[in-house]
Amino acid sequence: MNTLRDLLLAVCFVLLSGSFRPGIVTAQDLSVTSPDGTNAVTFTLDDGVPHYAVTRFGRPVIAPSRLGVVFRKAPPLDHGLSVAHTARRSFDETWTQPWGEKKDIRNHYNELRIDLTDGGDSPRTMTVVFRVFDDGVGFRYEWPEQPHLKAFEIMDERTEFALTNDATAWWIPAFHRNRYEYLYTQSPVSAIDTVHTPVTFETGDGLYLSIHEAALTDYASMTLARTGGTTLEADLVPWSDGVKVKATAPHLSPWRTIQIADTPGGLITSYLILNLNEPNKLGDVSWVKPGKYVGVWWEMHLGTKTWSSGPKHGATTEHVKHYIDFAAKHGFDGVLVEGWNKGWDGDWTKNGDKFNFTEPYPDFDIAELSRYAGEKGVHLIGHNETGAGVENYERQLEAAFDFYNKYDVRAVKTGYVGWSNTSIFRTGTNGEKHGEWHHGQYMVRHYRKVVETAARHHIMIDAHEPIKPTGIRRTYPNMMTREGARGGEYNAPWGGGNGPEHLVIMPFTRFLAGPMDFTPGIFHLVDDGTEPANFTPSTLAGQLALYVVIYSPLQMAADEPKHYEANPKPFKFIEDVPVDWADTVVPNARIGDYLTIARKDRHSDDWYLGSITDGQGRVLTAPLSFLDRDRKYVAEVYADGKDADWQTNPLAIDIHRVLVDRGTVLRLRLAPGGGQAVRFRPATAAEAQSIPAYKE
C-alpha cells in the first residue's frame, strides 16, 4: 500500500514540476497562489487548448478562460499544445519611486512559467507567465528566440476574461472617433460591446475588479470585446492592413492585468501595474522634477484668446510675461504656452504637416521669455501639438528637443488631435497613405520614441491624445502624466460639461492606469457676463479637493490668474498643496458616488485630504488614524458653505482652522457636486494652546 502511495506521489511531483517530455500529457492543472494565499491561478490544458482561472479565497473570480494567439500565414498557437516545461519562483522587494503617489512600493508575487509547444517536425514554443499578487494577477505571452518562429504577425489574441456573474461595469467605448474622451457608462457586463481598458467591475458577491494591461511595449493596445454572456476577449487595435502585431522573436506581449480588491479604495491603492513594469532604465533622474504650473490655455478654450496668430493670439511675449510674473509670485514651477509656434493657422486638425516645432510666431520672443522666466525661478513648458501629423513630428523631433534645451524648457506637453480615430497617416513603401489608429502598434512605437528621445534631452513629457498609461513611468520616469480621458477642457463652452459624476468614476477607472493631466482649479464658476460661461460641475471647495483626489506629478492651476487673485483665501490651498507624495490612503469610496483620499507630503510631515461627491449632497466621516501618534495637527479646512450647490451657489466656501489628532473622526459635509479639502500640518506649541479643538 505504501509503495502504491509513494508511486502516486512521485508521479504527481513529476507532473507539477514540469519534469516530463512534451506530448505525454494532454490535460493538466498547474496552480500558483499569491504570497498570502488569497488569490490563486489555475492553468489547465484541455485537449491541447490552454485555459486559466482565478479564485480568491477559493471563490471563482475568473472562470476558465481561453489563452492563445492566431498568426497570419502560420498555424495558431491556441490548440494542439502540450506542456514542455514549467518553472516557479517567488519574488519580494521594496522599491522607491523617484516621484509618485506612494514613495516605497512592495513588489511581492509568486510566478509560474509554462512553456507550451505545438510539437511536430517544426515545433514552436510560446511561454505563458503568471504572476500572482495579493492584489491581483498579471500574465503575458513570451515568444523566445527559436528556429521555427522568427518574424511573425499576430492576427488575434484568444485571451479571455470569463467573469463569473453579470457584474456592474464602468466603461467607455473603443474604436470610436474621440479616442478615450468619453463619459463613462455604468451597466451590466451583458450590456457592453467593445470597451477600452481599464474597465472596472463590482461583482455580485462584493468584489471589485479592474482589467487593464501593463508594460505595453511594441505591441497593439488591448480593448475588450464581449463575446457572449459575461465573457470578454482581448481585441487588439489593428494596423491599417488588419494585422494586430508585427514582431520578431524574441518578443513579449504586455501583461494582462486583473486587479482584485474587497473595497473600491483597494483598487486605488493597488500598485500591481507599476510592479509589472521594468525598473528605471534611465539611471540618474534627478533632473525629473514634479511641480505645479499655470498657462496660456483656458482662455483659448473659452474663446477669448486663440492658438492661431492674429489680434487675439494668446502666445505673445507680453501676455506670457504676465503668467510668468504670476507663477513666480505664487510659487509655481512652470508656465505652459500653447500656440507659440507656426502651424496653427487654418484648420490645424487636418493640416498636421504644417506645424514647425522650432519656429515661433513673430510676437513670441522665446529667447526673451526664457531669460525672463529664468530670472524669476520659473521655466517655460513647451507644447508640441502635432495635429496627428506624426511623420512631420518625427522628422523634427531631435531638432525640437534641441530647441527646447537651448531655451531651458524642461517639460513638454505633446498633442495628437485629429479629425478621426484613424487620422494618423503613415506613408507606405510606395508613397501611399495609410490611416492608423491612435492606439495601434504603430503609435505605441511612436509614443515610446518620443519618451526615449525626450529622456536623452532631459525633458519630461505630458502627453495628450496619448496611448493609455500602462505603468511605463516606472521604467521611464520622465513620462510624467497624460490626458487619455475626458478632461477638464470639456467643461469649456464647446464641451458641454462633464457632469459631477465623472470625477467620482475616473479614480476607479482611468486613474488606475496612471497619472492624469485633468487640469483642475477653475474658480470662475458663476456666469457674471465678463467672459463666456463654462460648465464646470463643481463647487469652489470641490475644485480644491481635486488637487488631492487627482494624482498628477505635473498639476495645473487651469484658470486665469485674475480669478485666483480675486480669491486669495481659497487659492492658498493650491499654493500649499504638493504634487509628490509619500503615502496614499482611501478612507471613503463608492464608485460613481463619492471618494475621500488622504496623501502625505513626501517632503514634510504634512498630510492633505480631498473628498468629492456626485450631484448628491452627502455627509461622510474620515478617521484621521493616518496621522502620527502623540502629535497635534492644525487642520486648515476648506469646506462647502452651508448653502453651497454646484448649480445654484458654487462659490460658497467655509475656511477655518481646528486642532485634530489621529483619534479625530472628521465630519465631511459635501454639497451637491461639492467637496472638501484639508491640509493637516503639525501644530506649534502656541497653536496647540490657542486653536480650538475639533468638535463634530
- Predicted confidence band of residue 13 (pLDDT cuts 50, 70, 90): very low
Question: Tell me, what's the pLDDT at 141?
Answer: 98
Q: Quick one: 192 and 45 in the same domain?
A: yes
Question: Tell me, what's the pLDDT at 696?
Answer: 80
CB 207 within 8 A of CB 261: yes
Number of domains in the chain: 2
The three-state DSSP-derived secondary structure of 158-182 is: CCEEEECCCCEEEECECCCCCCCCC
> Does residue 282 sit within a domain?
no
Q: Does 509 score more than 50 pLDDT? A: yes
First to last CA, the chain: 71
At 445-495, the pLDDT tens digits run 999 999 999 999 999 999 999 999 999 999 999 999 999 999 999 999 999
Q: What is the mean pLDDT of residues 669-687?
A: 98
471: left (phi over 0), alpha (psi -120 to 50) or beta: left
Q: What is the mean pLDDT of residues 330-340?
A: 98
Q: Quick one: 295 and 258 in the same domain?
A: no
C-alpha radius of gyration, the chain, whole number: 26
Q: What is the mean pLDDT of residues 431-435?
A: 89
Q: What is the mean pLDDT of residues 48-68?
A: 97
DSSP 492-504: STTT----TTGGG
Q: Does 382 score more than 90 pLDDT? A: yes
Q: Does 16 score more than 70 pLDDT? A: no
Q: What is the mean pLDDT of residues 189-195?
A: 97
Query: Where in the sequence is the domain holding 488, given as residue range(s)?
Result: 291-575
Per-residue burial over 482-518, b if 16 or more Cβ lie within 10 Å, else e, is: bbbbbbbbbbbeebeebbbbbbbbbbbbbbbbbbbbb
Q: How many Å apart are CA 278 and CA 476, to the nearest integer?
A: 9
At 152-168, the pLDDT tens digits run 999 999 999 999 999 99
pTM beyond cutoff 0.85: yes
Q: Quick one: 224 and 305 in the same domain?
A: no
**CATH value at residue 77:** 2.70.98.10
> Does residue 443 sit within a domain?
yes
- Provide the CA 205 distance to its chain's centre, in angstroms: 27
Last residue of a domain, one of 555, 575, 595: 575
361: left (phi over 0), alpha (psi -120 to 50) or beta: beta
Quote the mean pLDDT of the chain. 95
Strands 104-117 and 125-133: antiparallel
> Does residue 689 sit within a domain?
no
Q: Does 329 score more than 60 pLDDT? A: yes
DSSP 459-526: -EEEESS-PPP-STTTT-TTEEEE--S--GGGGSTTT----TTGGGTGGGTHHHHS-B---------S
Last residue of a domain, one of 248, 275, 302: 275
Q: Quick one: 262 and 301 in the same domain?
A: no
Q: What is the mean pLDDT of residues 73-96?
A: 97
Q: Quick one: 308 and 250 in the same domain?
A: no
- Predicted confidence band of residue 350 (pLDDT cuts 50, 70, 90): confident
Question: Tell me, what's the pLDDT at 14?
Answer: 35
> Does residue 643 sit within a domain?
no
Which residues have C-beta within 8 Å of that of residue 682, sequence separation ≥ 6? 605, 606, 628, 631, 632, 633, 634
| Best CA proximity match to 652, nearest among 686, 681, 676 | 676
CB 312 within 8 A of CB 296: no
The cell numbers describing 222, all together, are: 488591448
- Residues with catalytic annotation? 489
**Which one-letter amino acid corresponds to residue 111?**
E
519: left (phi over 0), alpha (psi -120 to 50) or beta: left
- Higher per-residue confidence, 7 vs 164: 164
At 516-544, the pLDDT tens digits run 999 999 999 999 999 999 999 999 999 99
Question: Tell me, what's the pLDDT at 28?
Answer: 60
